[in-house]
Amino acid sequence: MKHFRRPIIIVTMLTIVFGCARTESKDQTVNAIPRTADGKPDLTGVYQGGSTRRGPWDFQVPGDQPGVASPETQSVFPAAQVRKDPIPFQPWAKEKAQEYLNMRSVDDPAGRCLPGPGPRLHAVGLFPIQIVQTPEQIIILYEYFTVYRVIPLNAKHPDDLEPSFMGNSVGRWDGDTLVVDVTGFNDKGWVMAGAIFHSDALHITERYTRADKDTINYEATIDDPKVFTKPFTSSTTLMLREGTRLREYICSENNEDILRYEELLKRPELFRRTPPDSSK
Amino acid sequence: MAKSLFKIAGFILLLAVARNIDAHHSFGAEFDGNKTVTLKGVITKVEWANPHCHFYMDVKDPAGKTTNWKFEGFPPNVLARTGFKKDVTLKVGDSLTVFGWRARDGSALAHAREVTLADGKRLFFGPPAGTGEGNPVLK
């Protein structure tokens, strides 16, 4: 009886080892980057920015304290945008941006329902974006302001660009990363929330890397020699949201804020704030 | 190993997480994040519209005087994903408890963050205080 025991142990161990390997392989298949027929990563899908959580749409639910999200659902907003350094504003621009903040961003173009460049739109976790990929072009649809971007691949920027809120985009593949060059902006927008305004010299280089099935790492290099002293980066993750669809957001339908702002601006003492003196 | 840990810790310290929660407009210009309010009342009107849904509620004060309050929150698309259904979740005549922040002009207007329905279910009707107004100091 004893001589049967060793083969049984070996077979059992092999079953466990190959069983685990098969499970791992299955997981890798599940999380593998989807690819198109030409072998490029397929970015097609609906995504949520400003979240790192996998699974369905990520929204906040109330926790124990009134108005405060439960700890499990708090991350969706604070993680919206990550950057490594302070914004390298030129001195005059830093002063202007601080004044915007002193006025609690009452001049934010978004308050007048105006869209902004990609880094701003991608970081908003409240609204999904949808990417549609073809071999010739990438289309990005934004629920936020119900706007879109058409990104031709391997094309040149047109030579008749008019200044625009979202700029003109052209893309190319750098290995598995989609690189998008964006130029042709007007000087009316904020490239990021929090008074990070820009001029018509804004130039953005975006990199979209689908790290796995659920995740696109988005990094934007923001350059504007009229406003900043050097280029800087802003990044966020775009998480796949299967089962989520884009809905309508027509911001200008009943924008009462414009009239309220007009009234408030007559009494700025109501809301204007003085930043704490950092030198003390 | 220790060196690697220090490098990782250093990198984490370098990351400046921007807490400029984005939305349609500045919270702070219109509402005061220091003036919280919790009100119970009966819904008199619901406006399912962009860029903010509103509902109105009759609130009785201890002296018996009724004031009709207006509450502001997410647009319809966001409310739908947050768990609200038009004409079902909030209806005229429903009793409701609202937590939010008052308007700076002192009127009967508030930014509604959280609502508690008659059956005890709690949902977020709007974003948190501070939304869109940016940090006090540029970072």
Q: Are B30 and A69 in contact (CB < 8 Å)? A: no
Query: How much is the pLDDT for A59?
Result: 92
Residues of chain B contacting residue A228, judged by C-beta atoms under 8 Å apart: none
Q: Cα–Cα distance between A130 and A123 in angstroms, integer?
A: 14
Report which of B44, B30, B61 is spatially closest to residue B126, judged by C-alpha positions. B30
CA neighbor of A101 nearest in space, from A201, A203, A190:
A190
Closest residue in A to B111 (Cα) is A67
A200 touches B: beta carbon within 8 Å: no
User: In this structure, are residues A151 and A170 in contact, taking their beta carbons and an 8 Å threshold?
Assistant: yes
Q: How far apart are CA A48 and CA A44, in angstroms?
A: 13
Interface with chain A: mutation pick from B12, B17, B25, B31, highest number of A CBs within 10 Å: B25
Q: Does residue A149 lie within any of the structural domains?
A: yes
Rounded Cα distance, A128 and A51, in Å: 11
The domain containing residue A84 runs over which residues?
45-263
Whether A81 and B18 have beta carbons less than 8 Å apart is answered as yes
Contact B20 A60 (CB under 8 A): no
Q: How far apart are CA B134 and CA B29, in angstroms?
A: 11
Structure ipTM: 0.86
Report yes or no: A49 and A122 within 8 Å, Cβ to Cβ: yes
Judged by CB atoms closer than 8 Å, whether chains meet at B15 and A82 is answered as yes
Mean pLDDT within A247-255: 96
Give the burial class of A165: count Cβ atoms within 10 A of its Cβ; 0-12 exposed, 13-18 middle, 19 or more buried. Answer: middle
Nearest to B81 among A59, A77, A195 (CB): A59
CB pairs under 8 A between A and B: 184
- Structural domain includes residue A269: no
Best residue of B27, B39, B77 to probe chain A, by most A CBs closer than 10 Å: B77
- Residue A101 belongs to a domain: yes
Q: Return the top range by mean pLDDT from A5-9, A27-31, A53-57.
A: A53-57
Set of chain B residues whose Cβ sits within 8 Å of the Cβ of A55: none
Question: Residue with structure tokens 């009759």?
Answer: B58
Sign of CA dihedral B26, B75, A131, A50: positive
Q: Is the dihedral of CA A45, A48, A51, A54 positive or negative?
A: negative
Task: Report the C-alpha gap between A243 and A57 in whole angstroms.
Answer: 8
B48 token code pair: 């399912």
Q: How open is the CA angle A195-A197-A201, to the nearest 5 degrees?
A: 170
Q: Of A124, A249, A263, which is closest to B50 when you measure between CB atoms?
A: A249
For residue A29, is it within any domain? no
Q: What is the mean pLDDT of residues B36-65?
A: 97
pLDDT-based confidence at residue A23 (cuts at 50, 70, 90): very low
d(CA A251, CA A146): 8
In single-letter form, the type of residue at position B50 comes to: N
Q: Is residue A1 part of a domain?
A: no
pLDDT over 70 at B58, yes or no: yes
Mean pLDDT for the stretch of residues A264-269: 90
- The CA R_g of chain A, rounded to the nearest whole Å, is 24
8 Å CB contact between A34 and A213: yes
For chain A, how many residues are written? Answer: 280
Are A213 and A42 a contacting pair, CB within 8 Å? no
Q: What are the domain boundaries of chain B?
A: 26-124
The Cα A79–Cα A239 span in angstroms is 13
In this complex, do B75 and A254 lie within 8 Å of one another by their Cβ atoms? Answer: no
Contact B139 A67 (CB under 8 A): no
pTM for the whole structure: 0.87
Q: What confidence tens digit (pLDDT) does each residue in A75-115 have? A: 655 445 667 779 999 999 999 999 999 999 999 999 999 99
**Which residue intervals of chain A are DSSP H helices?**
2-31, 91-102, 118-122, 257-265
Q: Does residue A230 form part of some domain?
A: yes
- What does the alpha-carbon distance between residue A252 and residue A272 come to, in Å, rounded to a whole number? 26
User: Is the CB of A261 less than 8 angstroms away from the CB of B36?
Assistant: no
The total domain count for chain A is 1
Instruction: Find the closest chain B residue to A122 by CA distance.
Output: B22
**B22: which chain A residues are within 8 Å (Cβ-Cβ)?**
80, 110, 120, 123-124, 126, 193
Residue A39 in any domain: the answer is no
d(CA A60, CA B54): 19
Pick from B25, B135, B137: which is nearest to A108 by CB?
B25
Tell me, yes or no, if A57 comes closer than 8 A to chain B by beta carbon: yes
Mean pLDDT for the stretch of residues A212-232: 97
CA distance B2 to chain A (A): 23
Closest to A234 (Cα-Cα) out of A213, A220, A250, A248: A220
Q: What is the pLDDT of residues A118-171, one digit of tens each?
A: 999 998 899 999 999 999 999 999 999 999 999 999 999 999 999 999 999 999
Instruction: Say yes or no: domain B26-124 is CATH 1.10.3720.10.
Output: no
The two three-digit tokens of residue A164, written as one number = 């625009």
**Helix ranges, A234-274 (H):** 257-265
